Amino acid sequence: MNLVQILFWFLSALTLFSALMVILSKNPVHSVLWLILVFFAISGHYVLLNAQFLAIVNLIVYAGAIMVLFLFVIMLLNLNKETEPKKNIWMKLAGTIAGGCFLISVSNVIYNAQTGSAELANKATLMGKGSIGLIETLGKTLFTDYVIPFEISSVLFLSAMVGAVIIGKKD
Amino acid sequence: MSNLIYLVPLLPLIGFLINGLGRKFLSKLMIATIGSGAILLSFIISVILFFDVKATGGKVFTAFTFINVEIFKIDFAFQIDQLSSLFLLIITGIGFLIHLYSAAYMKEETPDHYARYFAYLNLFVFSMLLLVMGANYVIMYIGWEGVALCSYLLIGFWFKNNQYNYAANKAFVMNRIGDLGFLLAIFWLLLKVGTVSYSEVFSAEVLAKLSSTDATIITLLLFVGAIGKSAQIPLYTWLPDAMAGPTPVSALIHAATMVTAGIYMIARSNVLYHLSEVTQHIVAIIGIATAFFSATIALKQNDIKKVLAYSTVSQLGYMFLALGVGAYTGAVFHVMTHAFFKALLFLGAGSVIYALHHEQDIRNMGGLKKKMPITHITFLLACIAIAGIPPFSGFFSKDEILAAAYAKNPVYWVVGVATSMLTAFYMFRLYATTFLGKYRGTAEQEHHIHESPKTMTIPLIILAFFSVVAGFVGVPNVLGGSHQLHHFLAPVLTTEKGLHLEHSTEYLLMGITIALAVVAILYAINKFSKNPSLNEPTGLGKTLANKWYVDELYDAIIVKPVLALATFLKNIIEKSGIDGIVNNIGVFIQYAARQLRLLQNGQVASYIMIMVLTMVVFILLWFYDSSILKLVAKLFY
Amino acid sequence: MPIQYYIYLALALFSIGIIGVLTRRNAIIVFMCIELMLNAANLLLVAFSQMHQKIAYAANPAATNGIEAQLFVFFIMVVAAAEVSVGLAIIVMLYRNTRSVDINFLNRLKN
């Protein structure tokens, strides 16, 4: 087991554990903090896959901007363990079973796919090598082939900003 | 020549269209002229055709292909031969006289009803011409349906009286029953031999294809059609009720022409009937039974038109007897003579009814002899003709039928002679009660009685002339004649056998018939001229006056059960069954909707839950459809 | 690493997100679970991108096979950021109207 594999298993375990803690924590603030940890772990995965640009963007946008926004709202609304709405235990059970069904059925499909067909069999990812995750390569493609979607996404941002202001305005 | 043939049915059709479409703005004179003129022109052409056929024989004229499918082809074709040209003469000739008569008889109607009347009458003549001119059974069937429609329209001509409408419905429904038989016969014929054209069906090689069972079935089905149209037992009850129509209509449709369509059809199909001994017996038995049965009913009827109606049914029975015993010429001969004297009787009755302002009960008549001399004389001649007194026309045709019946089976003859005697009796009862004795109405009414106008009396005189002399075309050998009609029709009625009776036997039969008829006549005049039976009859007479309660019987065994079934279906099946299903579907949907509404509870969580579960189901269905199908198959098979 | 490890990892992460959405009533947690699912998708996209890269890399180390997936991830992040800003504004409005962030109270908005 080399270093990459060790890191992969460690980061995977960290991701899943933190994700579970997100949904299990009673206090929303703790959930946010666990979610930030999930993002860090995923960024670690990106680094392992040599997607350096996305690793940094993930940290800056998600862990940095979005989660701060969440935290900000939670604290603005003064939510804590006591204000957490109580949910029916049967509803929780039903939700878990439904999600479990989803997990089992899809993993069964994937299991059959990798054994039954050549689509996924013996396929692996390139670890730590390759140039596509680098800022230079991505930037070139983004500003040549994908320049119009990129500009349109700026319009999307603008409209989201206007929308947020309008919705959040006090009548 | 061929163009003239198309004109024969076309002229009445044009008359129908002009009168039917222009009824709002044509004057009565115009209407009568167009209606009668069209028939007169048809008649003139028919006369030309008749002599042409007499000189050169029958022909088939094809107008166009009517139906052309893979397995058979039906032409819209006309066959003008000895039989159809004779019928053309009867239809257009008597039709014209009756149109002429109607012009005066119907003059009280408003112009648009007057035009409607003539339009119907022209349409009737058109259909009847189609019926006899058609060169195959399908064209005949078109005419067959057409005359039924016109009969319905004319019986219910005064549609404001509901009784008349019921009578029209009755006639139509009874005709439909018969028509179904005719239709099935056509289908059977198409199925077995693939053609309906007379010339092909009656050819030797096609007849060879028919087994005797097929021939029996086809002829019996055709006979069912004839029973309906020609008012034989058991479908005769519509004809007396059809007297609801105007009297000239009764004369034309329900005495002279339409009701003889059945006889025409069977005479036309004589080759087929010759193949089936069974059918011939059935035809003869039904014919003679109808003849006798309706003659007994006629004895006690008091409505002048009802007596004539039952008399018509009875005479039609004679014709079927003739057809059944193979005397096709006799049947056609009797159709011809009967057309003259029965049309005359009806028109005479119409004249009386007209003079008495729509009084039809003979108990309120009497002594009209002096008031209406022309009507009286012509009516008397017709009565003598129908009673079968020589040398009037009815004698020759009736005698021929009776002689043929005797040759076949003496029992037919005995019943036939009894019927003949009854006929003479009830006809002279009618005559004596109406024209002899004293007038039984009030003096003021008597004052108003007058002879009918010329347009009515002239047809009476013409018909009376023919009623007297028409028999001379068929004087039998035994009386020194040569029976021209027989020779004329021989090319069509190929299967008819000659009569093989000793001359002495024939003389004897004639003598008995005439003697019995004369006795009946004298008895009737003696009994009814002085003191007519005005009281309500009792005992057997009451049964006869109520027509053997046949209408009541039909009501009890057919109408009531059908109505009961309909009521049952309406109240039980419809209410609880069909209605119940419909209502319960509604209730179930409402219930299901109320339950399903709970799913739409506005709870976001439950929506998402349903979404996820649906996704799971779809994933399973998408990737494991074959295994799921196998599982289902295992579970259910 | 074999691709199916990443698939199972992403699937597990996604399922945890689903379970979170189904079991929690706090709108903000539900929202965070949606982010979790988005990240699972992102991770899988990047893994597939590197899978395609590996096939081409052996022949040409400078090949750009699979780069579209990473650009997709980039756009997903863009959309997610926009979505979060609007979504959080909606949650603030919800709280202002119902004094709660319970998603079951969202049905009160219908009147």
pLDDT, average across residues A76-85: 73
Summarised one tens digit per residue, pLDDT across range C61-100 is 888 888 889 999 999 999 998 999 899 998 888 888 888 8
Summarised one tens digit per residue, pLDDT across range A97-121 is 888 888 988 888 888 777 766 667 7
The predicted structure's pLDDT at residue C55: 85
Q: Which residues of B are less than 8 Å from A91 in CB distance?
A: 605
Fold of the CATH domain A1-84: Four Helix Bundle (Hemerythrin (Met), subunit A) (1.20.120)
Chains contacting chain A through 3 or more C-beta pairs under 8 A: B, C
Residue B396 has pLDDT above 80, yes or no: yes
The predicted structure's pLDDT at residue C99: 81
Smallest Cβ distance to C18: which of B603, B604, B612? B612
Interface test with A, best of C5, C9, C14, C16 (most A CBs within 10 A): C16
Chain A nearest-CA distance from B629, in A, is 17
pLDDT, average across residues B82-105: 91
Compare all CA atoms of chain C with the CA of A33 and give the residue at the minimum distance: C32
- H helices of B22-81, where? 28-56
Of the listed ranges B120-129, B395-404, B546-555, the least confidently predicted one is: B546-555
* CA nearest to B228, candidates B180, B280, B294, B297: B180
Residue B289 has pLDDT above 60, yes or no: yes
Percentage of chain B exceeding pLDDT 90: 32
pLDDT, average across residues B470-476: 84
The string over A16-28, giving b where at least 16 C-beta atoms fall within 10 Å of a residue's C-beta and e elsewhere, is bebbbbbbebeeb
Smallest Cβ distance to B609: which of A94, A106, A112? A94
Chain A nearest-CA distance from C105, in A, is 10
Contact assignment for C22 to B601 by CB distance below 8 Å: no
Residue A11 has pLDDT above 90, yes or no: yes
The predicted structure's pLDDT at residue B125: 93
Contact assignment for A91 to B605 by CB distance below 8 Å: yes
The predicted structure's pLDDT at residue B408: 87
| Positive or negative: CA dihedral B277, B280, B286, B289 | negative
The predicted structure's pLDDT at residue B531: 67
* CA nearest to B150, candidates B259, B267, B306: B259
pLDDT, average across residues A16-30: 90
Run of H or E residues at B190: helix B162-193
Q: Which residues of A are less than 8 Å from C22 in CB distance?
A: 91, 94-96, 98-99
Q: Which residues of A are less than 8 Å from C17 in CB distance?
A: 19
Counted across chains A and B, CB pairs separated by less than 8 A come out at 22
Of the listed ranges A123-132, B225-234, B300-309, the least confidently predicted one is: A123-132
The predicted structure's pLDDT at residue B314: 92
Task: pLDDT band for B484, please (50, 70, 90 cuts).
Answer: confident
Summarised one tens digit per residue, pLDDT across range C5-54 is 899 999 999 999 999 988 888 888 999 999 999 999 999 999 999 988 88
Q: What is the rounded distance in angstroms from the CA atom of residue B606 to the CA atom of residue B555?
A: 69
pLDDT, average across residues B488-508: 80
Delimit the domains of chain A by residue range. 1-84, 86-128, 134-171
Residue B532 has pLDDT above 70, yes or no: no
pLDDT, average across residues B310-323: 92
Q: What is the rounded distance in angstroms from the CA atom of residue B266 to the CA atom of residue B288?
A: 16
Interface residues of chain B, partner chain A, Cβ below 8 Å? 605, 609, 612-613, 615-616, 619-620, 623
Summarised one tens digit per residue, pLDDT across range B581-592 is 888 899 999 999
Summarised one tens digit per residue, pLDDT across range B201-241 is 888 888 888 888 888 999 999 999 999 999 888 888 888 88
The predicted structure's pLDDT at residue B235: 86
Task: pLDDT band for A8, please (50, 70, 90 cuts).
Answer: very high
Contact assignment for C106 to B604 by CB distance below 8 Å: yes
Q: Which domains does chain C have, with CATH numbers?
A: 3-110 (1.10.287.3510)
Smallest Cβ distance to C104: which of B605, B609, B612? B605
The predicted structure's pLDDT at residue B241: 87
Rounded alpha-carbon distances, angstroms, from residue B78 to B12, B64, B403, C76: 16, 10, 34, 87
- Tokens of residue B410, six digits: 């003496």
Per-residue 3-state assignment (H helix, E strand, C coil) for B211-231: CHHHHHHHHHHHHHHHHHHCC
Contact assignment for A124 to C57 by CB distance below 8 Å: no
Run of H or E residues at A155: helix A147-168
Chain A nearest-CA distance from C110, in A, is 17
Smallest Cβ distance to A167: which of C6, C20, C90? C90
Interface of C with A in 1-60 (CB under 8 A): 1-9, 11-13, 15-26, 28-29, 31-33, 35-36, 39, 42-43, 46-47, 49-51, 53-54, 57
ipTM: 0.90
Run of H or E residues at B66: strand B59-68
ω into residue B234 within 30 of 0, thus cis? yes
Chain C nearest-CA distance from B622, in A, is 18
Q: Which residues of B are less than 8 Å from C103 in CB distance?
A: 604-605
Q: What is the rounded distance in angstroms from the CA atom of residue B420 to the CA atom of residue B439?
A: 29
Residue C111 has pLDDT above 60, yes or no: no
Interface of B with C in 575-604 (CB under 8 A): 601-604
The predicted structure's pLDDT at residue C110: 65
Specify the length of chain C in residues.
111
Residue B533 has pLDDT above 70, yes or no: no
The predicted structure's pLDDT at residue B589: 93
User: What is the SS3 assignment for B60?
Assistant: strand
Interface test with A, best of B619, B621, B625, B626 (most A CBs within 10 A): B619
Contact assignment for B609 to A95 by CB distance below 8 Å: yes
The predicted structure's pLDDT at residue A84: 67
Residue B459 has pLDDT above 80, yes or no: yes
Q: Which residues of B are less than 8 Å from C107 in CB distance?
A: 601-604
Task: pLDDT band for A82, please (50, 70, 90 cuts).
Answer: low
**Average predicted confidence (pLDDT) for chain B:** 87
Task: pLDDT band for B534, please (50, 70, 90 cuts).
Answer: low
Summarised one tens digit per residue, pLDDT across range B325-344 is 988 988 999 999 999 999 99
CB-based contact (8 Å) between A44 and chain C? Answer: no
Interface test with B, best of C11, C15, C21 (most B CBs within 10 A): C21
The predicted structure's pLDDT at residue B23: 84
The predicted structure's pLDDT at residue B356: 85
Q: Which amino acid, one-letter code, is at C36?
A: L
Residue B373 has pLDDT above 70, yes or no: yes
Per-residue 3-state assignment (H helix, E strand, C coil) for B236-290: CCHHHHHHHCCHHHHHHHHHHCHHHHHHHHHHHCHHHHHHCHHHHHHHHHHHHHH
Residue A122 sits at φ, ψ, to 5 deg, of: 60, 25
Residue B599 sits at φ, ψ, to 5 deg, of: -65, -30
pLDDT, average across residues B413-441: 88
The string over B197-227, giving b where at least 16 C-beta atoms fall within 10 Å of a residue's C-beta and e elsewhere, is bbeebbeeebeeebeeebbbbbbbbbbbbbb
Highest mean pLDDT: which of A36-45, B293-302, B382-391, B495-504? A36-45
Smallest Cβ distance to A98: which of B609, B619, B623? B609
Q: Which residues of B are less than 8 Å from C106 in CB distance?
A: 602, 604
